[in-house]
Structure 1
Amino acid sequence: MTDFAGQVAYYACHQVYLSRRAFYIVVIDMSKNLDEECRLYDTDRHDPTGSLFHSWTYGEYFHFWLQTINTYCNDGITQKDPKDTTAIKDSMPNVNLQPVILIASHKDQLQVGTCNTSETFYSQLDACLSKEQTLKQLIIPYRYFEVECPPGALTQKQQMTIDRVKKSIVETVQNLPHWGEEVPLKWFELEKSLSKRKANGEKVLKWLELKEAAKSFSIDEDDFNDVLRFLHEIGKILYFSVDKLKNTIIIDVQWFVNAFKYIITDEKHFAREDNINVLVNTGKITGQYIQEIWKDIESHRDEPCADTNLSVETDRHHDSLCQSYLNHKDEILQYMDKLGLMTRIEGHLCADNEEIYYIPSMNRTDFSIENKDEIRGKQKSAMMVYFFKSYLPHFFFFRLVVKCLKKWKVCDENSFFKNATLYKAEEAGHYFAIAVSKTSIQLQIFTRDEKVKMDEKCVKKIRQTVEDFIQEITETFHRGIIYDIGFSCSDIKITDEDEDFFLKGTDIKQEIGNSNEITCPKHFRGNYKHKIDAGKIRVCLLERKSTSFSSDN
């Protein structure tokens, strides 16, 4: 069982835990109104204030968690659930293989007169998913339980509810598709040996070292690669057979996640350096500062132990833990880079020539109106929009930002925002912004000098590379992320919501022909009628052999 933190700062590392070889328990406080904004009641120091999740309601978070499970864990296979007796069988005959046990907690704290009653709360949750039919397959009435959380002992009735939850867990696990799947005994023996090594304090192993250890269990090289993939998928290890990572295996996953946790939850962010306030609020941090945090994990420890002998042992463990992070700093940062958690900003050093790293999920700086106006007032391309039809994973944008930092340099040190990043193109005088709205990834190329005209080859090259990155990230999900490629029909500002202005690329390409200006095919009546600069869109168009505009691209 894994209970991972629900604060927004942790969302980027949830990908480490989420697996299709699992079931999920989603807990929601039924004493809260689903339409209320969570931040109004969240006094935790990692509250969502200033983040992309700033104004989210409890209902939106519920939708978010189910969509997260559906996206990261579903391999697209469904099967009939014999216990499903709901009345919507004809329209939705199957259930997802990633079942969810839904727990409505704090039933004992319901206020008199509240609308959240036993009869209505499930239907309210169901209504949160009205726009996404596939999510309704994840929740089923017989896997829904309302529990009470009294300060004292449970009553017999309360205990009976808990017993029903336990029974549901057992039944749910036994109905998972991989239940009863045969796994070679030698794989299990290797897993046990890794658990022992982890218990002895080992955190990271080299591929060759573990390969040699596997031979003692009669695991050859072909089987070894299979068992590594299997152990990675069930969350026992972290391993990617690409680039520099293929030679390193992290055998203590929680230790790795904690390395990230210590950085984003450090209580001394605003006490260590005079300029750390600026750094942290923009998601930037120095390599030296990372080491200082790992050296000072003391601030994350529990209360001192009264047992002297145990306290000495705890101190020894603490020192060993600090040293393990310092010893494996390079491997940790490489894995964080791969997962889009953090990356080094190439070509940027702080005043004392320290390397600077960027953590997108920590950025709380909004892309200001002044920044938007600066781009809008310059030479610029049409705004290219990647519209995610059902769900835009929120750290998809973070991973794209990290990916692009490998290819391009940022405009300057003030190019990082929670919802946009500004890059410098290889062609002189050309820059571009990658941004995120509620439903879309946006791309717009611009110049800072009015005398510099838009270079068509530059625009197409940037677009092609960004789309290659988007497709590459998409393929890392268990379930395909569907999106349409197109343009904003209106000259809106970058980061603005674009859903009402999205035109699919295939449709607009047929409309513009050789014209310089056309009436918008989406808004051609009444007060909404407006013109489209067809020339700007034509500059952005790619040949079909390079990029398809289809929704499954």
Structure 2
Amino acid sequence: MLEEEFEERNKRNLKLRFGNKDDVVLDVLDFAGQGEYYASHQTYIRKDAIFILAIDTSKDFNQRKKHKEREENKSIPEAVNKNLFLCDRPGVAFTCWSPKDYFYYWLKTIQIHGGSSERIIFIGTHEDEKRKDFNFVHLLNDAMAENLVTKAYSKPIIIDLCRYDEVTEEALTEIKNEICMLINKCRRENRPAKWVTFSSRFEIIKRKYPIIKIEDVLEMIDHFDFEMSDTEVADMLHFFHTSGKIIFFNMSRLQDILILDIQWFIDCFKHIIADRQHVEEDCRIVDVKDQKMLRNFHEKGVLEISLYKKLLTQKGISKQYQNTLGEYQSKLGMMFYVQNYEIDDGSSIDGWYVPSINTQEFKPSNARYRSNESSQILCFKFKDYLPYDFFGRLIVACVNSGHWHPYDFRLCKAGADMCYQKSGNEGEQIYLFTSKRIVTVQFIGKHSEQNGQEVKQEILTIVRQLVQFYSCSTEYELGFLCRKEEGYKENSVNHFVSKRYKFCQGCSQPCDWVDTESFWKEVRI
């Protein structure tokens, strides 16, 4: 039955794609709006995609979303009931945002993972309820000032999809024309007909096998009338990945597996972080240790490895794929593997850190970080935008180096209170922090010159490696905050002082101490 369906589908696709050289086949995807999906949207972002960004013109763009308590589920123990579900809990990475926050999120995500904002069509909805103070052009120009949009848009499309009349039809026609115009600007390349054969085969296979081994692909080739070299197979899979058909990375630990069903992959992640069924079941398990690990995960974002495997087994994922699935999610910035992570009973665990789950607020000690004994605050300022998953990647890279561990388990969503210890030296306290476009580093209390040089070099090396993950140019500048008092705030970026200009925009005055701060002086950009 599958073979007959495959042959019929293959004939249709070949006729559609090669019957007329001007024909174009588009795969349309509607992104989910629930909070638990926001940590995984980058999975679908591709360089050659066209994006339609819909904006509700009836909403106050600066009004932050208030958290609404859901009705308590009596089947879940009260002690953990209020801290379980990502989209229902205050304090996680993607909740309580304003419409403008979400708008900027999408622009940044498209830029970071798609590499450009030139293929975005902006559409305003709810025309009949449009606010009088809503100005689409001003909104886009503000985004352009933040380097989130690369050109001025003088005529965004505003439409009321709740009705269908001549005005609506004209707006829909305009949207179609915009899509056609962007398609014509896209680079077109001829692909072998046998690749289309594989595309059709994958569409059918993924219904039963959402994830397969590369050796299964090679076995398929043996049953076809054509031959393909290993290089051509890799090129074909790379093409399917870049066009959003599959997920495949031709790199160590990932190249032996390919994911055919991207939505299944996303749902696996959602199952781990927010699925109500497994939460209810796991809360009833007798094992006290597992209950404690589950609570720790939903508070701090660290999922012990055995519990991770138990959740995936419950999802029906065989053990042979569980580690690779985690590696793929790590590659895409959804979660990261940590080793020897210390927990509150003094023991350590291996597991997966999911930054989007972490609700811990970073509350540095004012007396400590403002002390004369503490160093000035070293600052990485990113030119246009800081990727949302960057700080999580940075923290995990530090922890996995073996030289860092959190003090009092203080691994927070926007900061970390860390102990740095290397080569048998006495451990030193360091604050790592992020806000808007900056990442900061500060030694707390007494600190040695030797450890200072090691930390500077280690952090700089990690940052240089991490910026290679993203499609766009992620440029940054190294400098300081003008005063310790300006650290650890949402607007700390306004008090960035570069080594070149030595001027603080936030204070509107020069900052001469940059030349005399010997502790950070030898940092090389």
User: Which band: TM-score by shorter chain?
Assistant: 0.7 to 0.9
Question: In the alignment, what sits opposite 2:518?
Answer: 538
Q: How far, CA to CA, are the matches of 2:106 and 2:159 in structure 1?
A: 18
Question: In the alignment, what sits opposite 1:284?
Answer: 302
The C-alpha deviation readout for 1:502-546, integer Å capped at 9, x for no partner, is 1113455xxxxxxxxxxxx548999x78773755x3222346xxx
Question: In the alignment, what sits opposite 1:106?
Answer: 126
Residues 1:5 and 2:46 aligned together: no
Residues 1:236 and 2:259 aligned together: no
Report SS of the residue matched to 2:52: strand
Quick check: 337-346 or 162-171, which moved more?
162-171
Change in 2 beyond 3 A, CA 1:189/1:244: same
Residues 1:390 and 2:399 aligned together: no
Matches within 5 A, 1:31-180: 31-39=58-66, 46=87, 49-52=90-93, 56-74=97-115, 98-110=118-130, 114-116=131-133, 121-129=135-143, 131-132=145-146, 135=149, 137=151, 139=153, 141=155, 144-149=157-162, 154-157=163-166, 160-161=169-170, 163-164=172-173, 167-168=176-177, 170-178=179-187, 180=188
Q: How far, CA to CA, are the matches of 2:148 and 2:326 in structure 1?
A: 36
Give the counterpart of 1:341 among 317, 334, 338.
334
Change in 2 beyond 3 A, CA 1:184/1:423: farther
Q: How far, CA to CA, are the matches of 1:288 and 1:3 in structure 2?
A: 34
Change in 2 beyond 3 A, CA 1:354/1:417: closer
Change in 2 beyond 3 A, CA 1:532/1:231: same
Change in 2 beyond 3 A, CA 1:354/1:404: closer
Residues 1:361 and 2:381 aligned together: no
Report how far residue 209 of structure 1 moved: 4.1
Report how far residue 134 of structure 1 moved: 5.8
Q: How far, CA to CA, are the matches of 1:47 and 1:439 in structure 2?
A: 27
Q: How far, CA to CA, are the matches of 1:4 and 1:58 in structure 2?
A: 16
* Paired residue type of 1:396: F
Question: In the alignment, what sits opposite 1:218?
Answer: 227
Change in 2 beyond 3 A, CA 1:437/1:284: same
Question: In the alignment, what sits opposite 2:25?
Answer: none
Unaligned runs of 5+ in 2: 1-27, 71-84, 284-290
Contact 2:359 2:413 in 1 (8 A): yes
The C-alpha deviation readout for 1:326-376, integer Å capped at 9, x for no partner, is 552111112222333222331136679864431111111110144x54444
Q: How far, CA to CA, are the matches of 1:5 and 1:266 in structure 2?
A: 15
Structure-2-length-normalised TM-score: 0.78
Give the counterpart of 1:21 among 34, 48, 65.
48
Q: How far, CA to CA, are the matches of 1:42 and 1:125 in structure 2?
A: 31
Q: How far, CA to CA, are the matches of 1:13 and 1:165 in structure 2?
A: 31
Q: How far, CA to CA, are the matches of 1:412 and 1:369 in structure 2?
A: 12
* Paired residue type of 2:267: N
Q: How far, CA to CA, are the matches of 1:163 and 1:100 in structure 2?
A: 16
Change in 2 beyond 3 A, CA 1:325/1:123: farther
Contact 2:342 2:409 in 1 (8 A): no
Question: In the alignment, what sits opposite 2:436?
Answer: 438
Quick check: 155-164 or 419-428, which moved more?
155-164
* Paired residue type of 2:245: K
Q: How far, CA to CA, are the matches of 1:524 and 1:239 in structure 2?
A: 45
Change in 2 beyond 3 A, CA 1:235/1:415: same
Quick check: 26-35 or 201-210, which moved more?
201-210
Change in 2 beyond 3 A, CA 1:48/1:172: farther
Change in 2 beyond 3 A, CA 1:193/1:386: same
Give the counterpart of 2:499 among 505, 522, 536.
505
Report SS of the residue matched to 2:410: coil
Quick check: 39-48 or 383-392, which moved more?
39-48
* Paired residue type of 2:190: E
Residues 1:465 and 2:458 aligned together: yes
Question: How much is the aligned-residue C-alpha RMSD, in angstroms?
Answer: 3.4
Give the counterpart of 1:251 among 244, 247, 260.
260
* Paired residue type of 1:491: K
Q: How far, CA to CA, are the matches of 1:236 and 1:405 in structure 2?
A: 34
Change in 2 beyond 3 A, CA 1:506/1:366: same
Q: How far, CA to CA, are the matches of 2:259 and 2:36 in structure 1?
A: 22
* Paired residue type of 1:471: R
* Paired residue type of 1:240: F
Report how far residue 246 of structure 1 moved: 2.8
Q: How far, CA to CA, are the matches of 1:423 and 1:126 in structure 2?
A: 40
Give the counterpart of 2:199 among 163, 188, 191.
191
Question: In the alignment, what sits opposite 1:399?
Answer: 393
Report SS of the residue matched to 1:39: coil
Q: How far, CA to CA, are the matches of 2:44 and 2:64 in structure 1?
A: 27
* Paired residue type of 2:247: L
Structure-1-length-normalised TM-score: 0.74
Change in 2 beyond 3 A, CA 1:242/1:164: same
Contact 1:207 1:249 in 2 (8 A): yes
Report how many aligned residue pairs link the two structures.
466
* Paired residue type of 2:322: K
Give the counterpart of 2:323 among 310, 313, 330.
330
Q: How far, CA to CA, are the matches of 2:152 and 2:511 in structure 1?
A: 42
Q: How far, CA to CA, are the matches of 2:231 and 2:170 in structure 1?
A: 48
Unaligned runs of 5+ in 1: 76-95, 297-321, 509-520, 549-553
Q: How far, CA to CA, are the matches of 1:391 and 1:486 in structure 2?
A: 16
Change in 2 beyond 3 A, CA 1:379/1:7: farther
Contact 1:67 1:391 in 2 (8 A): yes
Over the matched positions of the two proteins, sequence identity in percent amounts to 21
Question: In the alignment, what sits opposite 1:205?
Answer: 212
Q: How far, CA to CA, are the matches of 1:174 and 1:524 in structure 2?
A: 44
Report how far residue 266 of structure 1 moved: 2.5
Change in 2 beyond 3 A, CA 1:474/1:65: same
Contact 1:373 1:493 in 2 (8 A): no
